[in-house]
């Protein structure tokens, strides 16, 4: 086959055959197709989209480009969760041990943050000693013994996606629903889970700002998952207001411990429990009460098991930022707006995030907001606190927060976090 012919066909609105799709994904993974040719095809897909059969074959080819984990030795039903990302979205951290404490096994293969969205692996590594690079055998053994793992995907899991994602990142072709869906689902299917719950977010701080786009993405991923034998549902959730009260790696671990201790912000608990119930239902675990598992300490005990299994000490104190700066409420009233994107960019600029995948991140930097939308605030009270290792970063963080919040005289409507369910 010829890459130029495939590019021309897709550019002109044609549908690639199964053989053409399989050839292209395999040839690019092996280095037969050049980056500039793959870039051209990705741009054609960006503008022309993919027909459902075309997308199904594309995803299957990405899965087939590497190995597929065998989780049969785990000995209990497996279910995973994936979020499309947001600000303060630490949900995976309390959710994974919670679902494991209720009787399912959770093979959570996670990623790192980029830009204003945080990464689960960066957060977990704020705990000294924790390893996130595990072998396949270690993953299976940890799932068998304690029922949960949070780690990076191995290099042999959907390697086509790793190459294609890196190319999309530098060619402005990330924001394509077929390419997003196939990227996410190829990794999740290859990891071998039997069931999957998706948390697809929309709003100012989300990857998909438009709720209609988020719905289309959710529907596409659910169709791909079920078509590949993975029981899949999606929840549509909002990300106009950041989740919880913290954005930043170590800060979000501290908030996770609050949730696992039976407390924590109400919205974090709400989304965690909603996803946990969906995961347990898909896994066929009947009679488990995730709210009770938070209250009685069993979820926290399973978290401690996970941290120890991956080389960390769950009793060790978390690192704290040496520099802090308070943003005071300029007037009294109701907090009517707190922009998730502004908060996320501020945390990023303070050192919690990265502009490139190879950049280091600070375990202590980030933002704490002492009130969220719907709370009453008083003039002069600390509204947000910026955490940084270097005080020179505060100016850029404050600039990101300029215009990011509003205080009014009328109490706003409550923030609705879970909008819909797609199955």
* Residue showing tokens 């169709």: 223
What is the C-alpha R_g of the chain? 22
Nearest to 306 by CA among 71, 90, 94, 33: 94
Please report, for residues 4, 253, 357, the alpha-carbon distance to residue 360 in angstroms, rounded to integers and kept in the order given: 39, 18, 8
What are the catalytic residues? 82, 161, 168, 183, 187
Q: Which two tokens stand for residue 225?
A: 């998952």
d(CA 311, CA 296): 25
* CB environment 233-267: b (16+ within 10 A), e (fewer): bbbbbbbbbbbbbbbbbbbbbbbbbbbbeeebbeb
DSSP letter string over 250-313? HHHHHHHHHHHTT-S-HHHHHHHHHHHHHHHHHHT--S--HHHHHHSSHHHHHHHHHHHHTT--
Nearest to 173 by CA among 89, 62, 50, 65: 50
Please report, for residues 94, 152, 159, 387, the alpha-carbon distance to residue 255 in angstroms, rounded to integers and kept in the order given: 9, 22, 34, 15
Half-sphere exposure for 260 (CA within 13 Å, toward CB): 26
Decide if 375 contacts 241 (C-beta within 8 A): no
Partners of 198 in the β-ladder: 82, 234
Nearest to 395 by CA among 327, 321, 320: 327
DSSP letter string over 8-60? HHHHTT----HHHHHHHHHHHHHT-S-HHHHHHHHHHHHHH---HHHHHHHHH
Distance between alpha carbon 317 and the CA centroid of its chain, in Å? Answer: 25
Residue 277's CB is within 10 A of a number of other CB atoms, namely 17
């Amino acid at each position: 086959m010829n890459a130029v012919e495939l590019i021309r066909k897709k550019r002109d609105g044609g549908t690639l055959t199964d053989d053409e799709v399989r050839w292209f994904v395999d040839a690019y993974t092996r280095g037969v197709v050049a980056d500039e040719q793959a870039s051209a095809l990705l741009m054609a897909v960006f503008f022309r989209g993919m027909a459902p059969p075309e997308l199904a074959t594309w995803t299957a080819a990405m899965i087939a480009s590497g190995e597929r984990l065998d989780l049969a030795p785990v000995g209990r039903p497996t279910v995973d969760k994936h979020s499309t990302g947001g600000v303060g979205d630490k949900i995976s951290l309390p959710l994974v041990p919670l679902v494991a404490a209720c009787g399912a096994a959770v093979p959570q293969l996670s990623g790192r943050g980029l830009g204003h969205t945080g990464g689960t692996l960066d957060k977990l590594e704020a705990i000294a000693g924790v390893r996130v690079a595990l072998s396949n055998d270690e993953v299976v053994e940890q799932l068998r013994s304690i029922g949960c793992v949070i780690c990076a995907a191995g290099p042999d899991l959907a390697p086509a996606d790793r190459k294609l994602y890196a190319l999309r990142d530098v060619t402005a072709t990330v924001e394509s629903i077929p390419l997003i869906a196939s990227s996410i689902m190829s990794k999740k299917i290859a990891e071998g889970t039997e069931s999957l719950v998706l948390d697809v977010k929309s709003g100012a701080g989300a990857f998909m700002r438009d709720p209609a786009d988020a719905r289309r993405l959710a529907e596409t991923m659910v169709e791909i998952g079920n078509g590949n034998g993975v029981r899949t549902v999606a929840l549509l959730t909002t990300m106009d207001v950041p989740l919880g009260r913290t954005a930043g790696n170590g800060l979000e671990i501290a908030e996770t411990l609050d949730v696992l201790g039976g407390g924590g912000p109400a919205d974090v608990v709400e989304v965690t429990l909603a996803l946990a119930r969906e995961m347990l239902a898909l896994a066929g675990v009947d009679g488990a009460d995730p709210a009770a598992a938070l209250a009685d300490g069993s979820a926290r005990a399973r978290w401690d098991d996970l941290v120890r299994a991956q080389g960390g000490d769950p009793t060790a104190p978390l690192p704290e930022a040496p520099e802090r700066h308070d943003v005071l409420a300029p007037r009294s009233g109701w907090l009517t707006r707190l922009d998730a994107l502004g908060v996320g960019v501020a945390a990023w600029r303070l050192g919690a995030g990265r502009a490139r995948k190879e950049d280091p991140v600070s375990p202590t930097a980030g933002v704490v907001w002492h009130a969220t939308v719907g709370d009453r605030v008083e003039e002069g009270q600390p509204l947000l606190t910026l955490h940084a290792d270097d005080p020179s970063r505060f100016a850029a963080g404050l600039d990101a927060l300029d215009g990011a919040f509003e205080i009014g005289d009328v109490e706003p409507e409550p923030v609705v976090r879970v909008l819909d369910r797609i199955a």
